[in-house]
A and B are shown apart, each in its own frame.
Chain A
Amino acid sequence: MSVAQVLETEKRAIGVETIGMTKIFGNLKALDDVSIRVKPGTFHALLGENGAGKSTLVKCMMGFYQPTRGEMLVNDRAGSVPNPRAAHALGIGMVYQHFTLVPSLTAAENLVIARADTPTVIDWGKERKALKAFLETTPFKVPLDVPVSGLSAGEKQKLEILKQLYLDQRFLILDEPTSVLTPDEADEVLGLLRAMTEAGELTILMITHKFREVTAYADDVTVLRRGRVVGAGRVQDLSVADMSRMMIGETEIRESATRVEQPLKKLKLELAGLFADDDEELPAIEAISLKIHSGEILGIAGVSGNGQSELIEVLSGQRLLKHGRIFIDKQPYEPQRDQMDRFKVFGFSEEPLRNVAVPRMSVAENMAFRTFDKAPISPFRGWLSPMPMRRRAKELITAYRVKTPSTEEPIENLSGGNVQRAILARELSGDVDVLIVANPCFGLDFASVAEIRAQIMEQRNKGAAILLVSEDLDEILELADKVAVMSEGRISYQSAMAETDRATIGHAMAGHH
């Protein structure tokens, strides 16, 4: 191979730079004079909280949005991207947080249809040969003939990246690419990408909020806060503390509540051999047996889609339990309204607007879901009296610092953190004996996250038995007393928190693959 050829085939990474990028939506300045420079063949991390403008920035780069002001340079030449197709033509591709693969199509079909020049009649013999030859040139291995719905999350993520490489995109924007992967899968994917950037084949701009991934894989980092660049530099020159200070700014973060030792631990919640099916009538959870004592947080770790949501649905009465029993205080428990009330079972979960609130009902009504059929809101059967409901809502809004214009505002108009606080107020303001929590901090800003975690810890210290399902391993490491790992619908690992560590839990999350 001649030198020129080597240059042509190996050093194909491209560099992208934005200059003074500004994007205004109505009266919201989502991006304010953002200039970032991603050099060819580097791994660049884009850090920031939710709502800091990371997505807006990359959507401007991809041509989904047109910036109000500012321009973009591709390999030091002005590049205009009126639409995503133009970005693709410049060699800029994006891997989205949610998969954009077509579930019922095979990997091969997904790749071929993604091409701009798919032939009218597809000669699968020829295509398959070409795909195999292409796969040889990349470090990623994915089965080609299985429908995508049958692939694991890690394989899907690899296929998304492969798709971009197949389209010859040499500047890849990755939006939180590891959020659905086990730590081992994440390390594998990022490691391979890192190697490709080092070889000069690829440039990567990765949106993330995981410092571990930034320090382990990125060359450079840019930090955004409220639409502005608040810090940038080489990763090796910055500490995690520096980066997190840039990200959060001066916002006051509630101290995490301290863990109070519980002297007398009484068995509170017992799950005995729970089995349930998913929507395809295939087993979703199998033989789940767990014991949770009062004053204890049991954290269930695992990559999403391993049966956690089905377990939560079973415990909250949304899914039929096929076999097994649930006991609270050694008495059989069925998740029905009267029993939840009697046993003081409460809970909340991620995306409350979708899961535990009625978006178009008012804040006051949403806050009364547990109490609307009891005095004083319902003085006699079937009758609702709005005044006590509003009064109660006002108290809760003050106590839990929910920012809302009024008690009558539809809850969907509140920000994510405030919706979650309103739900917390509903669920935690009374006596709580059993608390079932799923990904409570998903998609929230640091201040809300700290607040919610402190509330959970407070309930533990007051003696509640808490089941915490979380895809965020850090959350479990911070809060749980005991940890269990769910993999393929089963509990694959259990341990007291003091006797385990991140790596052991991470390996257990990967299951038996």
Chain B
Amino acid sequence: MGDDPGLMTVLLAMFAGAIRVSTPFLFVSLGEMLTEKSGRINLGLEGTLVFGAMSGYAISYHTGSPWLGVLVAGFCGSLFGALHGFLCKLPKVNDIAIGIALMLFGTGLAFFFGKPYIQPSAPRLPSISFGSWSDHPGIRQALEINPLFLLGIALAVFLWWALRNTRFGLIIRTTGDSAPAALALGIDVNRVRLLSTMAGGFFAGIGGSFLSLYYPGSWTEGLSSGQGLMAVALVIFARWNPIYCFWAALLFGAAGALGPALQSIGVSRGYHFFNAAPYILTLLIMIASTSPRRSLKGAPGELSITK
């Protein structure tokens, strides 16, 4: 340690950034994963994320309780999910088109209601210090971890377990892989997808509240910058596995932290280029993980993109 303090600083900043920036990615991708496991794609999660950020911030501002804000953001998210699930069960409705419509609707609605909350400052979520053992201020700062991050890890592990070991898990996988098989088992396919989309929306809403209530920590209209959409790519990259979703979210988080980390050691050339790292990463991942000559491995059979 100490050979190259610049590199160490960058790596430490990226590590800290990965933990901070990855949390919304993690929640949105887990939500998207769950929805896709049931056989639908919800591209509206970007809108859900932004609306969750706005509503969480607003509730925290009015009640003084950021945790209540998180909860309300989740419920708003599941309302969006319910709308998506309801519209998609109508005949001849395409889930991707509905998702794009809801993405625009969610962001538009958030901007509309969010105007009064751009200026005022709302109470933020607290963090837990895991770094008191270290004298290094950088490490101490990196280990200021938000409880939502830990909750996200727990959620990923729980989903991974539940998809294998619970009746609901098997029902969701059945519905997502073969609707005819699900019907033959007497499963109400639309209901399962509605509930999965609602749960997915709940997670995405929580991810949104993290943005406004912890990092970056205020409500602005440019808050999400496409994280909800990148989560779709992330789920494909993670092969619909909740544990892989966690690692992929960390990777995206680290990429997102690259620009600020380099700036912190004074590398300001190409700042905007490094800030674009998550988008470039998304593009590279999509190129690497898809091919015209094969179908996506591990994809739920009912997804409209794999059919």
Name A residues whose Cβ lies closer than 8 Å to a Cβ of B: 84-85, 96, 98, 100-105, 109, 112-114, 118-122, 124, 277-281, 320
Contact = CB atoms under 8 A, between A and B. Distances in A.
Given A277-B294, A280-B294, A122 B166 contact: yes
Contacts of A281: 291, 293-294
B293 A113 contact: no
Given A102-B173, A102-B177, A104-B173, 8 more contacts: A84-B186, A101-B178, A102-B178, A102-B181, A109-B170, A120-B167, A280-B297, A281-B294
Contacts of A85: 186
A281 B292 CA distance: 10
Given A102-B173, A103-B178, A122-B167, A114 B291 contact: no
B293 A118 contact: no
Interface residues of B, number: 24
Contact of B166 (A84, A101, A120): A120
29 contacts: A100-B180, A100-B181, A100-B184, A102-B173, A102-B174, A103-B177, A103-B301, A104-B173, A104-B177, A104-B298, A104-B300, A104-B301, A105-B170, A105-B174, A109-B173, A113-B174, A113-B185, A118-B170, A119-B167, A120-B166, A120-B168, A122-B170, A278-B294, A280-B294, A280-B297, A281-B291, A281-B293, A281-B294, A320-B293
B134 interface: no
A274 B12 CA distance: 54
A118 B167 contact: yes
Contact of A277 (B167, B177, B180, B293): B293
B119 interface: no
Interface string B265-307: 0000000000000000000000000010111011011000000
B184 A112 contact: no
Contacts, number: 66
Contacts of B165: 121-122, 124
Contacts of B168: 120
B171 interface: yes
Contacts of B166: 120-122
Contacts of A84: 184, 186
- A-B pairs, top 4 by smallest CB distance, nearest first, are A281-B294, A113-B170, A100-B184, A118-B167
Nearest to A118: B167
Contacts of A124: 165
A119 B165 CA distance: 10
Contacts of A104: 173, 177, 298, 300-301
A505 B216 CA distance: 70
Contacts of A103: 177-178, 301
Given A105-B177, A279-B295, A281-B293, A114 B301 contact: no
Interface in B167-203: 167-168, 170-171, 173-174, 177-178, 180-182, 184-186
A113 B176 CA distance: 14
B170 A112 contact: yes
Contacts of A279: 293-295
Nearest to A101: B181
A118 B168 CA distance: 10
Nearest to B185: A114
Given A120-B167, A121-B165, A280 B295 contact: yes
A157 to B, nearest CB: 15
A471 to B, nearest CB: 21
Contacts of A119: 167
B40 to A, nearest CB: 16
B173 A105 contact: yes
Contacts of B298: 104
A353 B185 CA distance: 30
Contacts of A320: 293
**Most-contacted residue by chain A among B166, B167, B181, B184 (CB, 10 A):** B181
Given A279-B295, A280-B297, A113 B171 contact: yes
Interface in B50-72: none
A146 to B, nearest CB: 15
A240 to B, nearest CB: 34
A104 B303 CA distance: 13
Given A113-B167, A113-B185, A122-B165, A98 B177 contact: no
**Most-contacted residue by chain A among B171, B173, B293, B301 (CB, 10 A):** B293
Nearest to A281: B294
A277 B291 CA distance: 13
A124 B166 CA distance: 10
B148 to A, nearest CB: 26
A114 B182 CA distance: 9
B145 to A, nearest CB: 30
Nearest to A99: B181
Contacts of B178: 100-103
Nearest to A282: B294
A100 B185 CA distance: 9
A479 B178 CA distance: 38
A109 B173 CA distance: 10
B225 to A, nearest CB: 34
A96 B180 CA distance: 11
Contacts of A98: 180
Contacts of A112: 170
Contacts of A96: 184
Contacts of A277: 293-294
A381 B269 CA distance: 56
A244 B295 CA distance: 44
B218 to A, nearest CB: 42
Nearest to B170: A113
B1 to A, nearest CB: 44
Interface string B132-171: 0000000000000000000000000000000001111011
Nearest to A96: B184
A32 B186 CA distance: 29
Contacts of B182: 102
A278 B293 CA distance: 8
A103 B301 CA distance: 8
Contacts of B291: 281
B248 to A, nearest CB: 20
Nearest to A280: B294
